[in-house]
């Protein structure tokens, strides 16, 4: 279902250049010259993991909310500072693999608490964080020089872990930090990312947006010192970095902060 949605959104993305050219050139008979700009951009992604690394083997698809600060030069080069918070990722491990003897079975999302009460639910999901920078360029395809295909490459710091929720404090193994560190599989490392999409810069800048496909290459390793249960149980000091990937569709809203020497050119026919 997610793959079909990504394919559909790609088709929509490819149709946007034709729409922008139709709207701005034929009807308005005016275009903008490329300008120096600074903007902020809240953005949202849906991502699918792949690969054989710690992230890919632990989590399923996730939701990704980010905030970017972007500088665009008059020659259409861009530089971003990006922060991403990724959440809602279902853990692909069975309760037994994740929690060991605390789990009642290998398939039921319920565990035995310290008081001996069984079938008490314990919620958990994947959480990721990223901080990095990207460099890119906008390639206009018509007279609207601030819009066009946008290609970006970036790198930064990445970490991920399993986040537990125990509102009733039933599980001391999870609630006490020293014990929780042995179960949350916290890992950290570096990430590379590439984005290819279309940026649609409206005449009214606050209505501008971009959308496209984003790929991540992530190299992380566990850093808690020791994992208590599962196939990775044992010390983590000598574990190697492993590769995981994320493939997703990204949509962002452009909120302009500054624009220098904006020039509008009119064409008369």
Question: Is the model's pLDDT at 198 over the cut of 50?
Answer: yes
From 134, 119, 107, select the one nearest 170 (Cα to Cα). Answer: 119
What are residue 165's DSSP bridge partners? 123
Which residues are CB-neighbours of 212 under 8 A, at least 6 positions away? 13, 150, 195, 196, 197, 198, 249, 250
Question: Is the model's pLDDT at 18 over the cut of 50?
Answer: no
Question: What pTM was computed for the model?
Answer: 0.80
pLDDT score for 71:
97
Q: What does residue 104 show for φ and ψ, rounded to 5 degrees?
A: -70, -45
**Alpha-carbon gap, residue 17 to 69, rounded angstroms:** 24
Q: Tell me the pLDDT tens digit for each residue of 31-67.
A: 667 889 999 999 999 999 999 999 999 999 899 999 9
Considering the domain boundaries, does residue 145 fall inside one?
A: no
Question: Is the model's pLDDT at 26 over the cut of 80?
Answer: no
66 in Cβ contact with 40 (< 8 Å): no
pLDDT score for 131:
98
How many structural domains does the chain have?
1
**Alpha-carbon gap, residue 188 to 130, rounded angstroms:** 10
| Structural domain for 176, as ranges | 33-72+81-134+154-189+211-258
- Side-chain half-sphere exposure of 162, counting CA atoms within 13 A: 30
Q: Tell me the pLDDT tens digit for each residue of 205-232.
A: 778 999 999 999 999 999 988 888 877 8
**Alpha-carbon gap, residue 173 to 20, rounded angstroms:** 56
**Alpha-carbon gap, residue 136 to 17, rounded angstroms:** 19
Question: Is the model's pLDDT at 112 over the cut of 80?
Answer: no
| Average pLDDT for the chain | 81
Q: Tell me the pLDDT tens digit for each residue of 142-175.
A: 878 889 999 999 999 999 999 888 777 777 777 7
Considering the domain boundaries, does residue 91 fall inside one?
A: yes
Instruction: Please name the residue ranges forming H helices in 100-163.
Output: none
Considering the domain boundaries, does residue 146 fall inside one?
A: no
Q: How many CB atoms lie within 10 A of CB 150?
A: 22
Question: Is the model's pLDDT at 11 over the cut of 80?
Answer: no
Please report, rounded to a whole number, the percentage of residues in the chain having pLDDT higher than 90: 46
pLDDT score for 116:
56
164 in Cβ contact with 125 (< 8 Å): no
Task: Say which DSSP state 240 is in.
Answer: P
pLDDT score for 247:
97
In the block, tokens 């949509």 appear at: 251
- Once rounded to an integer, what is the mean pLDDT over residues 84-97? 86
pLDDT score for 264:
58
Considering the domain boundaries, does residue 2 fall inside one?
A: no
Q: What does DSSP say about strands 36-51 and 255-260: parallel, antiparallel, or unpaired? A: antiparallel
């Amino acid at each position: 279902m997610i793959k079909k949605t990504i394919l559909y959104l790609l088709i929509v993305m490819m149709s946007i250049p034709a729409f922008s050219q139709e709207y701005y050139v034929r009807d308005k008979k005016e275009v903008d010259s490329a300008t120096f700009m600074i903007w902020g951009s809240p953005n949202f992604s849906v991502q699918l993991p792949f690969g054989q690394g710690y992230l890919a083997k632990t989590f399923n698809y996730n939701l990704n909310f980010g905030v970017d600060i972007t500088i665009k030069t008059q020659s259409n080069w861009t530089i971003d500072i990006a922060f991403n918070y990724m959440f809602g990722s279902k853990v692909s491990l069975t309760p037994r693999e994740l929690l060991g003897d605390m789990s009642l079975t290998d398939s039921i999302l319920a565990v035995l608490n310290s008081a001996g009460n069984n079938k008490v639910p314990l919620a958990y999901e994947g959480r990721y964080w990223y901080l990095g920078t990207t460099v890119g360029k906008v390639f206009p395809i018509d007279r609207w020089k601030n819009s066009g295909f946008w290609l970006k490459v970036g790198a930064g710091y990445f970490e991920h872990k399993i986040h537990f929720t125990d509102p009733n404090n039933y599980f001391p193994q999870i609630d006490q930090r020293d014990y929780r560190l042995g179960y949350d599989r916290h890992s950290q490392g570096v990430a590379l990312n590439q984005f290819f999409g279309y940026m649609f810069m409206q005449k009214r800048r606050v209505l501008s947006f971009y959308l496209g496909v984003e790929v991540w290459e992530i190299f992380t390793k566990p850093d808690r010192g020791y994992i208590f249960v599962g196939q990775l149980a044992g010390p983590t000091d000598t574990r190697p970095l492993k590769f995981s990937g994320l493939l997703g569709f990204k949509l962002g809203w452009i909120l302009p902060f500054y624009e220098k020497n904006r020039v509008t050119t009119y064409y008369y026919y």
